[in-house]
A = this chain, B = another copy of it.
Amino acid sequence: MKWDTLDEEPCSLSRTVAVVGDRWTLLILRECFLRVRRFEGFQSSLQITRHLLSERLKKLVRFGILRRVPYSEAPKRYEYILTQKGLDLYPIIMAMVHWGDAHMGDERGRPLLHEHKTCGKQFDPVMVCSECGEVLHAKQVHVHPGPGRKEAVAG
């Protein structure tokens, strides 16, 4: 596969995989959602090699997921802030956290609990239909080719 053009495939899943589909990127984004913003912060909490961290941050900036914002002039220093495009990855992260909670847990219980400030309760993320609000299940979804494609390819 040509990973360098995966983001141009006529499949929205492929395009997303082109951005977050490697071993480190999702873990870096997890740190972003936990308010980590600086090179040393990512490096020390993830134990990622400095070389790869540098590469991944560049890639995320290139894709418009992070913004590189100066926070010191001399010496020039930058921090990495989620853009709106980056913030919109939240449902992906939460879906993955929830699946991990449900299916990869051990006897110790969940590593983290999530509280919804709006209602004050501990919750789980649930995926629903934008039109009727019902919980979504794979078997209730029918896929049609859209204008960006002839034959169906992605789920």
Contacts and interface: CB of A to CB of B under 8 A. Distances in A.
A141 B87 CA distance: 13
Interface in A106-123: 106, 108-119, 121-123
A57 to B, nearest CB: 17
A41 interface: no
B85 A103 contact: yes
B19 A112 contact: no
Copies held by the complex? 2
A90 to B, nearest CB: 4
A17 interface: yes
Contacts of A125: 91, 127-130, 136
A109 B143 CA distance: 15
Contacts of A19: 104
Contact of A140 (B33, B116, B127, B145): B116
Nearest to A89: B99
B138 A90 contact: yes
A36 to B, nearest CB: 10
Contact of A104 (B15, B46, B136): B15
Interface of A: 1, 3, 7-8, 10-23, 26-27, 30, 33-34, 45-48, 64, 85, 87-106, 108-119, 121-134, 136-138, 140-149, 152-155
6 contacts: A17-B26, A30-B155, A64-B103, A112-B144, A114-B144, A128-B128
